[in-house]
Amino acid sequence: MHLENGPLTVEYAMKYVEAGVKAGMDTIQILDHTHRFLEFKPMYDNLKQASVYQKDWFEKKKLEPLQSYFNLIEEMKKMELPIAVRFGLEVCYAPQDKAFLRDLLAGYPYDFLIGSIHSIDGLLYDMNGFSREILWDKYDTNAIYRRYYEIMEDMIESDLFTQIGHPDQLKIFHYEPDYDLKPTYERLAVLAKEHDVYMETNTGCHYRYLHEDVGTNQVFLEILKAHGVKIMTASDAHQPQHVGMHIAEISRQLGLD
C-alpha cells in the first residue's frame, strides 16, 4: 500500500489502516517507492538521460528525505493499531545500483523490502504516456522479456529483498514474446525458493491497467506453487479506496479462501 499520493503523516497512513480493517485484513504492508526520497535520487540519473519524457516525469516529483518516512514509522510503531502494520520500501532495482542499495538499505531496520523492476536498461516499460514510444514499439519484444527476467534473476540473487514485486508485469500493455516462458518461470521459482523470497501475485495490473489477469498469470503461479515458493498477495493500493482490491479472487487462486 503506497503512500506516494499523500503526505507522510499518521493521519494519511491511518486511512490505509482503516481501509484494511474494513476489508477484513489482519495485516497490511505500508510502503513507498524509492523515487520519492532524496537519498535514492542518483539511481534515476540514467532514466533522465535516456529520455526527455522520463526526465520530465522524475523532475516533477517533490523529493523528501528518508528521515521523514522513518519518523512516521517510529511514530506509528508506538501506537496501538487495530491490525498489524508492517513498513518497508519498494525499490526500483537495476543491477548497476546493487552496491549503492546495499549500503543505503542497511541504514534502517525495515520490516520488509520489495525489489521491483520498472525499467529495462534505463527505459521505463509501464508508463501509459510514453513507454510504447520509447521501448515497446522500438525494440524487440523477445529481447525486452529476456532482459527483464535476467535482471529479475540478478535481483533475487542479490539477497537485498524479502519480496519480489509484480514479477510478470511486463504483460501490462499486451506485448507478448513468441518464445515459451515456462523455462524462465522454472528458473525464477528455483531461485526464489533458494533465496527464501516471497513472489507477489499483485492485482494492480488488473484494476489499474485493465489487464485480464487478476494477479500473476496462472502458468507462473502454478510453477511457483509447485516449487514451494512463498507467495504474497498484494493489492498495490495507491489510494486508500484500493486497499484489498481483488484480494479475495487471488486468494482463491492460491487456495486460501
Work out the pLDDT band at 101, boundaries 50, 70, 90: very high
Indicate the pairing of strand 163-164 with strand 112-116: parallel
* Tens digit of each residue's pLDDT (9 = 90 or more) over 129-153: 999 999 999 999 999 999 999 999 9
pLDDT of residue 210: 77
In angstroms, what CA-CA distances link 79 with 13, 26, 76, 83? 12, 16, 5, 11
User: What is the secondary structure of 66-83 as a DSSP string?
Assistant: HHHHHHHHHHHHTS--SS
CATH number at residue 146: 3.20.20.140
In a domain, 148, yes or no: yes
Helices 218-226 and 182-194 pack at an angle, to 10 degrees, of 40
Taking a C-beta distance cutoff of 8 angstroms, is the pair 51, 130 a contact? yes
Cα separation, 78 vs 99, in Å, equals: 32
Cα separation, 72 vs 55, in Å, equals: 29
For the chain, give the percent of residues with pLDDT over 90.
81
Indicate if the pLDDT at residue 237 is higher than 90.
Answer: no
Return the percent helix, strand and coil in the chain, to nearest 5: 50, 15, 35
In a domain, 3, yes or no: no
Indicate if the pLDDT at residue 215 is higher than 90.
Answer: no
In a domain, 26, yes or no: yes
Nearest Cα neighbor of 197 from 237, 155, 150 is 155
* Tens digit of each residue's pLDDT (9 = 90 or more) over 155-207: 999 999 999 999 999 999 999 999 999 999 999 999 999 999 999 998 887 77
Taking a C-beta distance cutoff of 8 angstroms, is the pair 241, 229 a contact? no
If one counts the domains in the chain, the total is 1
In a domain, 4, yes or no: no
pLDDT of residue 256: 60
Write out the residue range of the structural domain in which residue 213 sits.
10-253
Q: Report, as an integer, the average pLDDT of 66-75.
A: 97
In a domain, 2, yes or no: no
* Average pLDDT for the chain: 94
For the chain, give the percent of residues with pLDDT over 70.
99
* Tens digit of each residue's pLDDT (9 = 90 or more) over 4-43: 899 999 999 999 999 999 999 999 999 999 999 999 999 9
Work out the pLDDT band at 252, boundaries 50, 70, 90: confident
In a domain, 104, yes or no: yes
Indicate the pairing of strand 119-120 with strand 123-124: antiparallel
pLDDT of residue 247: 76
